[in-house]
Chain A
Amino acid sequence: MNERPAKPTESYTFALTGNPNSGKTSIFNGITGANQKVGNWGGVTVDVKTGSIRRGNAKLYFTDIPGTYSLSAYTMEEVVARDYIINGNTDVIINIVDSTNLERNLYLAIQLIELQKPVVFAFNMYDELSRDGTQIDIHQLGKLLGAPISFTVGRTGKGIDALLDEAVKTARGEESLHHPILVHYGNDLESAIEELEELLRKSAFDSRGIAMRWYAIKLLEEDELVEKQVRELAGHDVILAARESHLKKIEQLYQEDAATLISEKRYGFIMGALGETVKRAPGNRIDISEKIDGVMTNRFLAYPIFALFMWLLFQATFSLGAYPMGWIESGVDLLAEFVRTSMPPGLARSLIADGVIGGVGGVVVFLPNILILFFGISILEDTGYMARIAFIMDKLMHRIGLHGKSFIPLIMGLGCNVPAIMAARTLESNKDRVLTILIAPLITCSARLPVYILFAGTFFPDNAGNIIFLLYFFSFFFAFLMGLLFKKTLFRGEEFPFVMELPPYRVPTFKSALIHMWEKAKHYLQKMGGVVLIFSVIIWFLSNFPVQQELASQWEQEIGAVEQNIEQLDIPEETAADHRTLKEMEAELQTLKVQKHREMMKNTYIGQIGQFIQPALQPLGFDWRMGVSLVTGFVAKEVVVSTLGVLYTVQGETDQESEALKNALRRAYTPLTGLAFLFFVMLYTPCIVAFVTLVREINSWKWSLFSLFYQITLAWMIAFLVRWGGILLGFV
């Protein structure tokens, strides 16, 4: 920042729109440099993202809106996209077009032109097109479309500068190419459009700066959203009656509905324009994607390959991630130790060492897992393999009442249920969406892993990996089971078409994967830094107050007595009998210490909460501490671990916090109770953030409460079955 730029004198807003997989997001990143994910999976961009840059003395604001195939607003994302294009306050729409598939991509372009708002085209992935010798006369095509065209290559950033020039020029109204282009729909349709336009104008329909003609066409296409808008008008019955009579007439004349005719005319226009301006190279393009798919979706190889990728993702996340986890763990322990030695004993030391460092440290430890997992998921998405997963999984998913696309949110759920629930937006039918959102939280997210690792490592040290695998298996099993159950009971009825694009395979850019990974890590840390830190301190407070001096000194006396006895026993020439008594006494000392801690805790605020809900958990063999940790687990599942940590940390035992906790747990519970607890954690409501997301996405209090209720009920029932099944089978 050597020189201070002058204050911008003008500012413009741009909306980036385009088909899914057109490289829109990479162009957005190229322009704004914003950290945002690039994905091949249709609808990675769920939220509307914004960024801004300075260019000369102009301030430019950009919005990346969800990918859409047309303005029909079919899926949730398309509704968002269309709503933004129509109602958003943008100066210029930048339409990103996949050059390798102009015909289909221009179908959206035509509709944008029909809005009669300023549009600029970016013919993206131009390198792929020119590689096989195809030539486009963009100046002529721009004339035909009534808007300027720039060639861009999103992954290298080539052409973005020229695109911005055109965009700013258009925003200033200096673009000479910009003029309204009308697709002629034939005399019968045109007269219908004309009449409806006139009627809309007469009834003072608010077109929000968009051509009235567009609304008339949409009415003839029987667009539900526009129809709803029209119904709010005073004279809507006249308009709709006029439409009906036109629709009937057209259907009689052409034996086709108006929507189909309109689309045919649009494609006719596109074909005409492309025929005039595009020179295709003779010969076939080599379809590398097709060759890859010959293997990836091969009848025999598809599932082994899929399983291999999932296995690799798992191994990388959890085995490879174990190393940095170890380093972080020691670092956190060192820090806590440092605080303990350098601060005077008291509440402040306890707050920092046990509450803050202990609580937050227990969460930072899982950062490597999250980084690796999301790096992997990002690679799966960016390569285009994610869509193939939907392709090969659809039959199975369909059988249990879900959509092939539902598998993606479920897999995302492995990382975090929050993006998983949001990923369900790509599902077109509301039923499929609600169903997927209802079962997605059952998938084990990365925040539940700390609990799994702790408990599996504590109670099944030799089989920890197998137990964790079993939990993952069951989490999918229960998700599928509940999906089937809900489908059979709550969601009977028609299903939605599974029409999905299989985008070409692309080499993922390392940068994109890194950006994605960094985003997730940032999100995780922010969540931890905020919510988890606050709750660690609250839990520390609840578990240290009210202070009970009297009770503490009583216990100290008893412990002191035993300690004295041990000291007296400690004579050099040990006999076998002495040895035995020593062991017994040491054991007694340990028990006393744990008892003291438990008694002290029982009377704290948190103990009171735990005890309050404990009767409900009694049949599962859970004590109040487990109850408390489950309550705090609503904040975030990883908090279950830090809560247990705080609840069990015995004063004086400072090294290797996790070992101390494991020992404490081993003393307190049987392996069977540990397993029942694991199943409970696996199945009950993931966390407040996920629940809030769910409420927002499912958009219904009825379903939100149902989700909460069924998950807790299911968790309780399964934990009950595990415990009592185990007892009946002879495990204790």
Chain B
Amino acid sequence: MLRDEGLSISEGYDIFQDKEKNLMHTPLSLCHEGDRVMIHRILGNGGFRKRLIELGLRKGKELTVVRYAPLRDPMEICIDGCHVSLRVEEAEKIDVEMIQNSSNE
């Protein structure tokens, strides 16, 4: 099928992109369902940061994007087997490093 031909090209492109992503950090809000990422930095005010830390979200922690709510906001993440929901606008303030890109997305 036509798709086979295109796949090899786009696959190579994806790998290239992933390398780029690993160097620069993306906001969590741009991640897809199933992505596994590591927290690099949490921006935002003190109260917001404190709350995230209490819930176990801190620098160096790995988390998985579980899903987005039916209306695409808020999003659900899983950290240490604990599920936490946060709004997309808040996830914008969390810089993450991609560990494992969810495939086929």
Contacts and interface: CB of A to CB of B under 8 A. Distances in A.
Interface in B53-103: 53-56, 58-59, 66-67, 69-74, 76, 78, 80-87, 90
A70 interface: yes
Nearest to A71: B54
A355 to B, nearest CB: 52
A222 B46 contact: yes
B31 interface: no
B50 A259 contact: yes
A710 interface: no
Interface residues of B, number: 33
Most buried by B among A69, A298, A396: A69
Interface stretch (A10-18, A153-161, A495-503, A523-531): A495-503
Contacts of A299: 70
A287 to B, nearest CB: 7
Contacts of A390: 85
A289 B73 contact: no
A74 interface: yes
B46 A501 contact: no
B6 interface: no
A398 B83 contact: no
A260 B67 CA distance: 28
A285 B81 CA distance: 9
B86 A498 contact: yes
Contact of A104 (B50, B51, B56, B90): B56
A497 B47 CA distance: 9
Nearest to A257: B46
Contacts of B82: 101, 104, 501
A264 interface: yes
B48 A497 contact: yes
A209 to B, nearest CB: 25
A686 interface: no
B49 interface: yes
A74 B74 contact: no
B23 to A, nearest CB: 19
Contacts of A501: 55, 82-85
Contacts of B54: 69-70, 72, 74, 104, 107
A72 B50 contact: yes
A224 B76 CA distance: 30
A72 B82 CA distance: 21
Contact of B90 (A289, A298, A497, A504): A497
Given A259-B46, A497-B87, A395 B58 contact: no
Nearest to B93: A497
Contacts of A293: 66-67, 76, 83
A290 B81 CA distance: 10
A391 interface: yes
A713 interface: no
A460 interface: no
B69 A499 contact: no
Contacts of A257: 46
A278 to B, nearest CB: 12
B84 A497 contact: no
B47 to A, nearest CB: 7
B81 A287 contact: yes
A267 interface: yes
Given A297-B69, A497-B90, A502 B76 contact: yes
Interface in A39-86: 69-70, 72, 74
Contacts of A300: 70
Contacts of B78: 290
Contacts of A358: none
Contact of A260 (B49, B51, B73): B49
Nearest to B54: A69
A687 to B, nearest CB: 34
A299 B76 CA distance: 13
A101 B78 CA distance: 12
Given A101-B82, A394-B74, A501-B83, A263 B46 contact: no
Interface in A89-109: 100-101, 103-104, 107
Interface string B23-63: 00000000000000000000010111111111110110000
A114 to B, nearest CB: 15
Interface in A647-706: none
Contact of B73 (A69, A267, A395, A502): A395
Interface of A: 69-70, 72, 74, 100-101, 103-104, 107, 221-222, 257, 259-260, 263-264, 267, 285, 287, 289-290, 293-294, 297-300, 302-303, 390-392, 394-396, 398, 404, 497-504
Given A100-B81, A101-B56, A101-B80, 6 more contacts: A264-B59, A290-B83, A395-B69, A498-B74, A499-B55, A503-B83
8 contacts: A72-B50, A259-B50, A260-B53, A260-B59, A297-B76, A391-B74, A500-B86, A501-B85
In order of increasing CB-CB distance, the 3 nearest A-B pairs are A395-B71, A69-B54, A502-B83
